[in-house]
A and B are shown apart, each in its own frame.
Chain A
């Protein structure tokens, strides 16, 4: 029998899941879209707590900026540019009863499947044992034998950029394509040329002063998350989305015309391309070294392998840098940060400018 106080994390897990269900239900049946966004933000904070208690801090670090910060911001901008209320004229009044009956039915199915899985495997669902693959990854992530190891104490970053590096490369290119799609939709729009004036534009003086103090601190936190990605929870993705908050704060608190002093769209695209080229180069850097010295190598090779003896140094001056993982984190930080900077700058273009452009295209 467990002691009662050992149940606390599991209890918090169950309570936050139930609270998130209430928030999701209200977010779906709410007619006011702004309130729906806020309810989904409540759901996101509870999901962050669930991820935290499932002991995956890497996911929490990337999930909080994305789902609590960036996604509500973008949907709020979209609602401000379009309409606020949903038209529910045709939907039957009994929709909440429909949802409840659906939920009850499918929940019974889920519970039945869970019990079935217990009965088949003769084991309870959160098993005490890990899979063989997981044990292999955990065993070799920082090991005395460099042939099979990534030489990084963080297993998640090791999997993302070493063991399964090619997957991550193609997933990064999917993200690149999505941003290219957004750029193509906004191809003729330009930020109007206006001077930033302190007293007319932006929010109150208190907000501006506090943001001036806080933005460098946020950048420092983001860069430290990115550069320590091979030692502590974090990495390029997490640092990039954390740094993207600075762009959104500059745009919302000061103005677009203040933000483009630091981030012009073309500069951001150039830096983003530099980051992507850096990722590609880091993927083949061992191959380049090997071919120039007449040896063999793999793509996405980090440490020396059996038939490919070239590898990057895993520590410099006693500090662990884990070979290519460090380079990947730096370049991924640049690519993600600048990608979201581009999207925010595009979203902040005034609607009149865009409408004039579209009217010109139609005629």
Chain B
């Protein structure tokens, strides 16, 4: 096993481990946080830390996986494409959902400390 392969393997396992940790943290947060807008925070950890990172890690691991032959580049490329889609779409999806949930009042805002958006809407800077 060459040095580059060894480095790729170690990096792959490390990223997958970070992803596992982030998933568990996000799962706990999803269950313990009080309302929807706080849970968005857990969702970002689940999407970026918990999914984007380990998919990249799997791609790196696949690149170093010489038993598969030339087809391992297919696996690595597919993993990178999936990661890019996830990076773009997870954030946008959360944004659309949060905006719709706020303006349609489909979810409760309690407990809240401060709601700046409400004041902006009242002044007229933001409108929906």
Mask: chain A, 208-231; 1 = CB below 8 Å from B; 0 = not: 001101100100010000000000
Q: B89 contacts A206, CB within 8 Å? A: no
Q: B99 contacts A204, CB within 8 Å? A: yes
CA distance A190 to B96 in the complex (A): 29
Q: A221 contacts B81, CB within 8 Å? A: yes
Q: Is B95 an interface residue (CB 8 A)?
A: yes
Q: Is A203 an interface residue (CB 8 A)?
A: yes
Q: Is A207 an interface residue (CB 8 A)?
A: yes
Q: Name the B residues within 8 Å of A203 (CB-CB).
A: 96, 99
Smallest Cβ-Cβ distance to B74: which chain A residue: A232
CA distance A217 to B83 in the complex (A): 13
Question: Which B residues between 86 and 128 are near A, CB-CB below 8 angstroms?
Answer: 88-89, 92, 95-96, 99
- Interface majority SS (helix, strand, loop, mixed), chain A: helix
Interface size on A, residues (CB 8 A): 11
Q: A204 contacts B95, CB within 8 Å? A: yes
CA distance A211 to B96 in the complex (A): 12
Q: Name the B residues within 8 Å of A213 (CB-CB).
A: 88
Q: A207 contacts B85, CB within 8 Å? A: no
Q: Name the B residues within 8 Å of A217 (CB-CB).
A: 85
Q: A207 contacts B88, CB within 8 Å? A: no
Q: Name the B residues within 8 Å of A214 (CB-CB).
A: 85, 88-89
Q: B85 contacts A210, CB within 8 Å? A: no
CA distance A211 to B85 in the complex (A): 11
CA distance A204 to B92 in the complex (A): 10
Given contacts A210-B89, A214-B89, contact A204 B81 (CB under 8 A): no
Smallest Cβ-Cβ distance to A209: which chain B residue: B92
Q: B96 contacts A204, CB within 8 Å? A: yes
CA distance A157 to B96 in the complex (A): 38
Smallest Cβ-Cβ distance to A207: which chain B residue: B96
Given contacts A213-B88, A214-B89, contact A206 B81 (CB under 8 A): no
Q: A207 contacts B92, CB within 8 Å? A: yes
Q: Name the B residues within 8 Å of A232 (CB-CB).
A: 74
Q: B95 contacts A207, CB within 8 Å? A: yes
CA distance A203 to B103 in the complex (A): 12
Smallest Cβ-Cβ distance to B128: which chain A residue: A204
Q: A210 contacts B81, CB within 8 Å? A: no
Q: Name the A residues within 8 Å of B92 (CB-CB).
A: 206-207, 210-211
Smallest Cβ-Cβ distance to B84: which chain A residue: A217
CA distance A228 to B111 in the complex (A): 52
Mask: chain A, 111-155; 1 = CB below 8 Å from B; 0 = not: 000000000000000000000000000000000000000000000
Smallest Cβ-Cβ distance to A253: which chain B residue: B96
Which residues of A are in contact with B by a Cβ distance under 8 Å?
Answer: 203-204, 206-207, 210-211, 213-214, 217, 221, 232
Which 10 residue pairs across A and B have the least CB separation, nearest first? A210-B92, A207-B96, A206-B95, A204-B99, A207-B92, A203-B96, A210-B88, A206-B92, A214-B88, A214-B89
Could you pull out 9 A-B pairs where Cβ atoms are within 8 angstroms? A204-B95, A204-B96, A206-B92, A207-B95, A210-B92, A213-B88, A214-B88, A214-B89, A221-B81
